[in-house]
Amino acid sequence: MYSISILKYLRIVEVSNDHDLKNLKNSGVHMKTKLTLICLLLNFFYFQAQAQERIISGTVMSDSDGLPLPGVNVLVKGTSTGTITDFDGKYSISATDGESLVFSFLGFETKEVVVAGQDTIDIVLGESASALGEVVLVGYGSTKKQDVTGSITRIKAEELVKQPALTPTQSLQGKASGVQIISSGAPGSSPIVRIRGTGTVQAGRDPIYVVDGIITDRIDNISSEDITSIDILKDASSLAIYGTRGANGVIIVTTKSGKAGKMQIDLSSYYGMKDILSKVDMASSSEYVAFSNRAYGYERFSPDQQYNTDWFDEITRTGTVMNHNISISGGSEKITSFFSGNYFEEEGILKGNDYRRLNLRGKASYNLSDKLKFDHNISLSLNRSIPKPYSTFTTAYKQSPIVPVRYVGGSYDGRYGVPFDDSGASFNNVGNPVAALDLNDEKQNNLILQGNVSATYDVTDYLSATSRFGIESGYGKSYVFTPNLQQFLAADPTREVSDFNSDNRNTLKVRKSDFYHWVFDAFLTFDKRFAEKHGVKLTLGTTAEEEQNEFIEGTRNNVPDDSNLFSLNNGEEGTDIANSALSDKRRLRSYFARLNYDFDNKYLLTATIRRDGSSVFANTDDKWGNFPSVGLGWVVSNEEFLNNSNVVNNLKLRASWGQLGNQNIPLNALTFNSDLGYVFGSDQVITPGSTITAIIDKNVGWEVTEEYDFGIEFAFLDNRLSGEFDYYDKLNKNAILPISLPDVFGASGITLTHAGKIRNRGLEFALNWEDKINDDFNYHIGGNLTKNDNNLEEITNPFAFEQQGGSLGNGQVTKRLKEGQPLGSFYLLEVQGFDERGDFVYRDLNNDGAIDDRDRQFFGSIQPDIYFGINAGFDYKSWDFNVQGYGNTGSMVYNGKKAQRFGGENVEASVAQNIFNFDNGSNMNPAPSNEVPLSSTYFLENGDFFRINNITLGYTLPDVISGAKKIRIYALAQNPFIFKKFTGFTPELPGNGDPLGDSSGIELNAYPSVKSYIVGVNLNF
């Protein structure tokens, strides 16, 4: 006991003070100030010596893992006598009969035991259900959830691992209000994350991640098993400390650390099968022939067809997913360490599409002295993927069933099927999707290394200095092998090798890329209570960042066909093409300050300011911006009149205002485009050419987002009912938009400038009920809902234009950016019905007798009005059960694969079976046609859906293996059911995240939603 460092005392005392606040108050004891407690406890050996009572000793254990809990605060109720448990969870304390011992520890329930003659009191502490004492991370520090004036949602580890996924962000779906996760089921893909709506068009739209204090753009290199908690910062008061990095929200990830005490080994594994969640039925050969012959107006295809290919079946398979994880942790009071290894493997539902990842992480923490603490954390993530073109989902949809995968018999025996009719004429432009998969030979390997070191020095008990340096670096290599000869032969069954007139049998492209990013932070934290009631916490710091990326690639023709010989050296000399690019270096320099003040733990104030300078504004006069915020809170439940309430355990009102910046635009510099060479001379030499082809605006600066937030947090009825409501209003006051200069100016590429105001306004609700009926049974049910109103409020630049987007690649565009409309709005012709020939009748909006772009209108956006998640579960004896669902309403989806249809392509079975009826003239589909359809409401569908994304049933085995503390086996179904109106493969279409993009909210070349069935086991030693 004497060896426990002062440092530890300080930490624990602080914690216990915070946590026991109510207990102390409830017992009528005069409030102790932190300072007094510190003094008292620093000298508690003195008190111990003074005591005359009997000594009670015992061990405190954790309920969840049965491990001893070191550092638990043990206090004799109503006195200032206290101690803490040692390394093995043991304690001893003096008390007299009739007195109560209070055991409290951060994150655990507080327990009280009356002393009645026992010499030994062993205690098992359960983890705390209430969030009262919970500490959340706030950026450059942490604070009690109770003291936060902003909107922060915390997701704990156990919630993440309930939803196995490649990336932790995927596991967040539906778990936090205000956080929209739009995912694609594609192997190795990362979902799109939007916090409180899409606030910007051109500049970066993604939140940033802060992993163990270090800012980064990615967490897909972290396995969910390695995460302790995720804190999502949503409002300006919380985000302003991140200034320019904060406008799209911040997700703070804390990875696991070793704990002092016994060594702990955790093993977990799961294995699962994946399949497509909802398939689209396509027309059969006979249906296709009937449809097409009517479209052509003559019998182009014989009704008697040899083949009836189900292309979708030909390109897909049952996917598998597998994950193994091991972690080892432990340590002494001086050193703690943590190691984990994770292997993930997925075979996608598209044939040949594979992904593997290996993660290794090592973390250690050293108490170099009582005052100095040093941490380091190194992780490595290695992945390999074999990409396959997702456009094959569209070609499989479009290719005619009368085309064989391969010809059987005849002179074409064994050749790939291509769409030629009996006369040998081609009838569509769709390739053979099976050939596209077979002849696609690509491989990518990536290595991501992240490391950081940090040191914290406690100058005094209320002042500490922290300095951190983090660096991440990634290396990618890939090859793309293009078998030109095979592709040539596959495109036409009549071709022979001798017809191939090119010298270029195949092409090998090898590419290497890398990036680096470093961050340096230094800050001081001052934390002290004055005159008992005034809590002051001040954080003052500075940070600098730099990042850059580069690639180099080389191409040669005619390498040997074996992949082990895929080296450029083995290619044909003189066919080299080399290419490389170095990105603009980006640097950021910032200063920040934050003041947290509370009066009597009732009235809270948070004020922050951050000053940021960015290298991006190379040509802009002022590179610097200031981003202030202020937050106020009132902890109503700490007022006298609620002090003894059994109903209201927690009630807090809060309000905040702040400004955030966004600088995620390309370097604002006027540069020469040097890729404009031309061939001159009798020897046809490429002579370099370069000029300025873009126009830049010298006035481009920070996007400034201003946000108001009002929130209520509560816990009622013994903390069984808890929740949080928020109203927010977030206005991007000078959104950077690509402006359309008249083409007369001759700019190619995009000109960016401040051109509009984008508002996201909404409500967030989170409500959770949990109850423990008895030791054998507890249950919980909860949900969250976000209503977000997105709107391009105002256009402020004369060159801002109703930018079009959502191109289908057939000359038709579907989206438009317009004042007064949400981002990603569909702008279409309205189909009113069909004329007597079965052609579309469009609404002639301006009554000019012609149907053109002027007759288009807005019909909703890709963005949902409401998205929500629900979860419920129970534990009964050794069984645990959990179910989760996620959904959204109010979004629209464009059926792009259907709308893109060029002549001769297949149609859906429902269309072929409901061909327009000439006689009654009324039907749901137009008459068969091979014309490219105009973009219209006919192809726009409701994007509402509700998906059960997880059902888990687990069973914890009694002691069957000696040494194992816990063995749990489980089975889970991911996405087993979806309720949707959309007739396509998936209403969840993240695309590249650009609301005006060609793939977000438009189903074209999209990966279908998949369902998976998984079994797994967790072992703890």
Partner 1 sequence: MKKLINIVITGLMILSLAACSDNEFLDVQPSKETPEQALSSPTAATELVNAVYNKFLDFNESSFSWIGITSITTDDADKGSDPGDTGTDKDLMDALTFTSNTISINEVWEANYQGIARANQALQYLPDLDIDETLKARLIGETKFLRSIFYFRLVRMFGGVPLIQKVPDIQNQEDINVANTRVSKEEIYAFIMTDLQDAADNLPVSYSSSDLGRATKGAALTLLAKVNMYQENWQQVYDLTNQVMTLGYSLTPQYEDIWKEIGENNSESIFEIQGRGETPNKGVQGYFVVQGARGAGGWGWGFNTPTEDLTNSYEEGDERKDATIIFRGETLWDGLLVAETVSNPRYNQKAYVSKTMESFNGGDWESNKNVRILRYAEVLLMNAEAALKVGGDAKTPLNLVRKRAGLEGLDNVTQMDVWKERRWELAFEHDRYFDLVRQGRAGEVLRAHGKNFVDGKNELFPIPQAQIDLSKGQLTQNPGY
Listed ranges 122-130, 195-203, 217-225, 568-576: which one lies at the site for partner 1 (CB under 8 A): 568-576
Give me the least distance between CB of 914 and partner 1, in Å please.
21
Among 279, 334, 585, 877, binds partner 1 (CB under 8 A): 585
List, as one string, the DSSP characters of 191-229.
Answer: -EEEESS---SSS--SPEEEETTEEES--TTS-GGGEEE
Our CB check for partner 1 shows the closer of 301 and 714 to be: 301
Binding positions for partner 1, 623-652, rule CB under 8 A? 623
Among 810, 889, 942, 956, binds partner 1 (CB under 8 A): 810
Do the Cβ atoms of 468 and 214 come closer than 8 Å?
yes
Cα 473 to Cα 450: distance, rounded to the nearest angstrom:
6
Do the Cβ atoms of 68 and 261 come closer than 8 Å?
yes
Cα 198 to Cα 1006: distance, rounded to the nearest angstrom:
21
Which residue do the tokens 């060594």 mark?
263
Our CB check for partner 1 shows the closer of 503 and 718 to be: 503
Our CB check for partner 1 shows the closer of 715 and 1004 to be: 1004
Torsion angle, alpha carbons of 200, 205, 211, 214, to 10: -60
Closest CA to 140 of 519, 517, 450, 473: 519
Among 47, 420, 603, 955, binds partner 1 (CB under 8 A): 420
Our CB check for partner 1 shows the closer of 453 and 667 to be: 667
Among 544, 632, 636, 841, binds partner 1 (CB under 8 A): 544
Among 118, 445, 693, 778, binds partner 1 (CB under 8 A): 693
- CA separation, residue 921 to residues 838, 932, 998 (Å): 7, 22, 34
Binding positions for partner 1, 400-419, rule CB under 8 A? 418
Our CB check for partner 1 shows the closer of 488 and 779 to be: 488
- Side-chain half-sphere CA neighbours of 928 within 13 A: 26
Cα 291 to Cα 403: distance, rounded to the nearest angstrom:
15
Cα 675 to Cα 662: distance, rounded to the nearest angstrom:
31
Binding positions for partner 1, 774-803, rule CB under 8 A? 798-799, 801-802
Binding positions for partner 1, 445-484, rule CB under 8 A? 459-460, 463, 465, 484
Binding positions for partner 1, 717-776, rule CB under 8 A? 740-748, 751
Listed ranges 135-143, 487-495, 756-764, 827-835: which one lies at the site for partner 1 (CB under 8 A): 487-495
Cα angle at 776 between 770 and 781, to 5 degrees?
20
Amino acid at 409: G
Give me the least distance between CB of 852 and partner 1, in Å please.
6
Do the Cβ atoms of 72 and 125 come closer than 8 Å?
yes
Give me the least distance between CB of 509 and partner 1, in Å please.
13
Q: And the tokens for 88?
A: 């093995």
Binding positions for partner 1, 303-342, rule CB under 8 A? none
Backbone angles phi, psi at 701, to 5 degrees: -135, -150
Our CB check for partner 1 shows the closer of 524 and 653 to be: 524
- When asked if residue 992 is in the footprint of partner 1 (CB under 8 A), the reply is no
- DSSP conformational letter for 65: T
Give me the least distance between CB of 813 and partner 1, in Å please.
10
- When asked if residue 55 is in the footprint of partner 1 (CB under 8 A), the reply is no
- When asked if residue 669 is in the footprint of partner 1 (CB under 8 A), the reply is yes
Among 2, 678, 960, 963, binds partner 1 (CB under 8 A): 678
Among 691, 774, 922, 962, binds partner 1 (CB under 8 A): 691
User: Between β-strands 977-980 and 945-957, what pairing exists: parallel, antiparallel or unpaired?
Assistant: antiparallel
Give me the least distance between CB of 743 and partner 1, in Å please.
4
Among 682, 920, 922, 962, binds partner 1 (CB under 8 A): 682
Cα angle at 295 between 292 and 300, to 5 degrees?
55
Largest separation between any pair of C-alpha atoms in the chain: 109
Give me the least distance between CB of 674 and partner 1, in Å please.
6
Our CB check for partner 1 shows the closer of 427 and 970 to be: 427
Binding positions for partner 1, 853-912, rule CB under 8 A? 853, 902-904
Q: And the tokens for 778?
A: 């507890």
Give me the least distance between CB of 495 and partner 1, in Å please.
8
Cα 640 to Cα 634: distance, rounded to the nearest angstrom:
13
Give me the least distance between CB of 616 and partner 1, in Å please.
9
H helix intervals, 876-925: 896-899, 909-912
Q: Would you give the binding string for partner 1 spanning residues 814-853, x where CB under 8 A is met?
A: ------------------------------------x-xx
Our CB check for partner 1 shows the closer of 251 and 402 to be: 402
Give me the least distance between CB of 918 and partner 1, in Å please.
21
Give me the least distance between CB of 623 and partner 1, in Å please.
5
Among 393, 416, 427, 985, binds partner 1 (CB under 8 A): 427
Listed ranges 193-201, 332-340, 360-368, 663-671: which one lies at the site for partner 1 (CB under 8 A): 663-671
- 301 in helix, strand or coil? coil
Give me the least distance between CB of 854 and partner 1, in Å please.
8
Give me the least distance between CB of 739 and partner 1, in Å please.
9
Among 51, 455, 540, 763, binds partner 1 (CB under 8 A): 540
H helix intervals, 786-930: 896-899, 909-912
What element of type H or E holds 596?
Answer: strand 586-599
Binding positions for partner 1, 102-131, rule CB under 8 A? none
Give me the least distance between CB of 850 and partner 1, in Å please.
8
* Sheet strand arrangement including 208-211: 152-156, 227-233, 250-255, 208-211, 214-216
> Could you tell me how many residues make up the chain?
1021
Binding positions for partner 1, 271-310, rule CB under 8 A? 295-296
* CA dihedral sign of residues 734, 740, 745, 749: positive
Our CB check for partner 1 shows the closer of 286 and 542 to be: 542
Cα 402 to Cα 404: distance, rounded to the nearest angstrom:
6
- When asked if residue 615 is in the footprint of partner 1 (CB under 8 A), the reply is yes
Binding positions for partner 1, 493-512, rule CB under 8 A? 493-495, 501-504
Name residue 795's beta-bridge partners.
Answer: 756
Listed ranges 160-168, 466-474, 571-579, 965-973: which one lies at the site for partner 1 (CB under 8 A): 571-579
How many residues sit in the footprint of partner 1 (CB under 8 A)? Answer: 99
Binding positions for partner 1, 927-986, rule CB under 8 A? 930-932
Our CB check for partner 1 shows the closer of 28 and 688 to be: 688
Which residue do the tokens 């605060």 mark?
73
Listed ranges 150-158, 240-248, 309-317, 608-616: which one lies at the site for partner 1 (CB under 8 A): 608-616
Q: And the tokens for 539?
A: 């954080």
- When asked if residue 680 is in the footprint of partner 1 (CB under 8 A), the reply is yes
Our CB check for partner 1 shows the closer of 320 and 740 to be: 740
| CB contact burial 439-469 (16+ within 10 A = b; e otherwise) | bbbbbbebbbbbbbebbbbbeebbebbbebb
Residues 6+ apart with CB under 8 A from 570: 559, 560
Our CB check for partner 1 shows the closer of 522 and 781 to be: 522
Our CB check for partner 1 shows the closer of 365 and 466 to be: 466
Q: And the tokens for 792?
A: 């391009």
Give me the least distance between CB of 498 and partner 1, in Å please.
11
Question: Per 3-state DSSP, what percentage of the chain is helix, strand, and coil (rounded to 5)?
Answer: 15, 45, 40
